[in-house]
Amino acid sequence: MHPLFLTQQRSSFSANTICLLFLNIYSDFELKGASSHSGRRTFITKFANTGINVRLLAAFAGHQHISTTQRHIDVNDAQLAKAVEAYIVNSSAVISTSLSLD
């Protein structure tokens, strides 16, 4: 896998350098409480919400284990409500179909 960002010497940045870069960016935009990890977590969560398979997401994030990726995915009340709504709609369709078959 190739690095996303390259130094002037065409090599990859160290993890510490990337963290400092993001801290400077967040500071410049006055984003309080933001860190390189929170940005990564947000990106992984938003990508996961598109429906991408967790194994692909783990590979993209550079995680060896999908459990690591799963810990990075945040779940909120709106997502839970949407999942329940989808379940109810799908359950209603199944009940309706089975009733019309009887």
Query: Which of helix, strand or coil describes residue 6?
Result: strand
- Same domain as 82, residue 47: yes
- Same domain as 52, residue 97: yes
Domain that holds residue 59: 35-101
Q: Give the confidence band of 14 by pLDDT, cuts at 50, 70, 90.
A: confident
Q: Give 15-70 pLDDT, tens digit per residue.
A: 888 888 888 998 999 988 888 788 889 889 998 888 899 999 999 888 999 999 99
- Same domain as 81, residue 48: yes
pLDDT at 101: 53
Q: Give 65-92 pLDDT, tens digit per residue.
A: 999 999 999 888 888 888 889 888 888 7
Q: Which residues pair with 44 in a beta bridge?
A: none
- Same domain as 89, residue 49: yes
pLDDT at 1: 64
- Same domain as 84, residue 53: yes
Quote the DSSP letter at residue 102: -
- Same domain as 68, residue 21: no
- Same domain as 87, residue 41: yes
Domain count, the chain: 2
